[in-house]
Amino acid sequence: MKKVILFVAVISAFSFASCKKDRVCTCVSSPGGGTSTVTYTQSTSRNASAACLSYTEVNNNTTTTVTCTLK
C-alpha cells in the first residue's frame, strides 16, 4: 500500500511541474501590416503568453497597433 501511495505522489509531482521550452510570439503591426517574431527561450506557457500580449513597438514616436499571438 505504501508503494502505491508513493507512486501516486511522484506522478502527481510530475504533473504539476512546469514545462519550459522555446515559445514563439508572432506579431502583426498596423498600419503597414509588418510582421515580427519574438522567441522566448526556456519559458513556461503562462510567462510567454503574458510577455507576448504585452509586446509593443515604437517607431519614430508613431502610434502602432500590434496584435500578437503565441504559437
Confidence of residue 36 (pLDDT cuts 50, 70, 90): confident
Supply the range of the domain harboring residue 35: 19-70
Q: Give the number of domains in the chain.
A: 1
Look up the pTM and report it.
Answer: 0.60
The reply to whether 38 falls in a domain is: yes
The reply to whether 12 falls in a domain is: no
Distances (CA, A) of 12 to 6, 18, 21, 22: 10, 12, 21, 24
> What would you report as the CA-atom Rg of the chain, rounded to the nearest whole angstrom?
19
Q: Average the pLDDT over 16-29 and give the result.
A: 82
The reply to whether 3 falls in a domain is: no
**Residue 35 confidence (pLDDT) above 70:** yes
Joined together, the cell numbers standing for residue 55 give: 509586446
The reply to whether 2 falls in a domain is: no
